[in-house]
Amino acid sequence: MSARLLRTALGVAAFVAATPSAAQAQIYYWQDASGQIVLSDKQKDPSAKTYAVSRSQSIRTTRPTTGRAAAFADLIDEHASAQDVDANLVHAVIQAESAFNPRAVSVKGAMGLMQLMPATARSYNVLNAFDPAENIRAGVAYLKSLLVKYRDNLELALAAYNAGPGAVAKYGGAVPPYRETRNYVKKIRGAVEAAPPKKVRIYRTIEIVDGREVPRFSTTPTPGAELVTPGRR
């Protein structure tokens, strides 16, 4: 935990410790996978600590900004489509891994949006793990490889992404009994299930066949492809 987060945590603890014992409400406090401190009136994480809060006190919270996520939406769609991976899943993984911070670095050395370990980055020919395009390309490809390895078992793929395939193998091909990993799998699976279905994007290209223009349509964006708008033929 950084010094700033530690000071925040201590401040929260000091606040709730000073709260009268005859409390009428509760708040929950935990750290998410990216190390961010979360306060909520609902227990959304099994590891959350519970604090009593007097009705006379007020707590103001804000939702995390969606600006960062929107900035990378096109890159996520492009690489998710290329790898045939659910874009909602990629969004959820990035949120859990780095909260859409392209400069994030974990204590174990994982880097960038999808928190690539150095060995993984090398395996996917990543020259700059802090470049969003390279990071997402490699991260989605690695996630796809795990989905293939575990035959589309999402829980095992996510467990391997978080703890490593070796940890999954160590526990007989099951989700390891690590609290962090189990919370990670539960959080991402819940986010994917709650996400609205992604709109299908159709791309149009023109091929010349026997001197004639022949339109081709695909859900995969390619260089020079035109995005087809609804109602257009």
Q: pLDDT, tens digit, for every residue of 195-213?
A: 877 666 677 888 888 889 8
71-81 per-position pLDDT tens digit = 999 999 999 99
> Are 200 and 219 within 8 A, CB to CB?
yes
Residue 117 is encoded by which pair of tokens? 């370990």
Is residue 20's pLDDT more than 90?
Answer: no
Q: What is the CA radius of gyration of the chain?
A: 22
pLDDT band at 190 (very low <50, low <70, confident <90, very high): very high
Q: How many degrees, rounded to 5, is the angle at CA 133 between CA 76 and CA 111?
A: 100
118-128 per-position pLDDT tens digit = 999 999 999 99
> Are 221 and 207 within 8 A, CB to CB?
no
pLDDT band at 45 (very low <50, low <70, confident <90, very high): low
What does the mean pLDDT of the chain come to? 80
Q: Residue 115: what pLDDT?
A: 98
Q: How far apart are the first and last CA of the chain?
A: 54
For residue 97, indicate whether it is catalytic. yes
> Which of 45-59, 114-128, 183-197 is most confident?
114-128
Q: Which of 78, 97, 180, 226 is catalytic?
A: 97
Is residue 57's pLDDT more than 50?
Answer: no
Which residues in 20-170 belong to E strands, given as ranges?
25-31, 37-40, 49-53
Q: Read off the pLDDT of each residue in 170-184 and give the average, rounded to a whole number.
A: 97
Q: Read off the pLDDT of each residue in 156-170 and give the average, rounded to a whole number.
A: 97
Q: Residue 154: what pLDDT?
A: 97
> Are 87 and 77 within 8 A, CB to CB?
yes
Please state the pTM of the whole predicted model: 0.61
Query: pLDDT exceeding 90 applies to what percent of the chain?
Result: 53
- Determine which helix (DSSP H) or strand (DSSP E) holds 203, and give its type and residue range: strand 203-209
Q: Residue 64: what pLDDT?
A: 44
Residue 199's alpha-carbon distances to 93, 137, 191, in angstroms, are 19, 21, 17
> Are 163 and 178 within 8 A, CB to CB?
yes
Residue 190's alpha-carbon distances to 147, 154, 195, in angstroms, are 17, 12, 9
Higher per-residue confidence, 183 vs 45? 183
Q: Read off the pLDDT of each residue in 215-219 and give the average, rounded to a whole number.
A: 80
Q: Residue 204: what pLDDT?
A: 81
Is residue 166's pLDDT more than 90?
Answer: yes
Domains defined along the chain, listed by start: 3-53 (no CATH), 67-194 (1.10.530.10), 200-233 (no CATH)
Is residue 24's pLDDT more than 50?
Answer: no
Higher per-residue confidence, 18 vs 68? 68
Q: Which long-range contacts (CB under 8 A, 24 or more apart) does 155-160 make?
A: 155/185, 155/189, 158/93, 158/184, 158/185, 158/188, 158/189, 159/184, 159/185
84-111 per-position pLDDT tens digit = 999 999 999 999 999 999 999 999 999 9
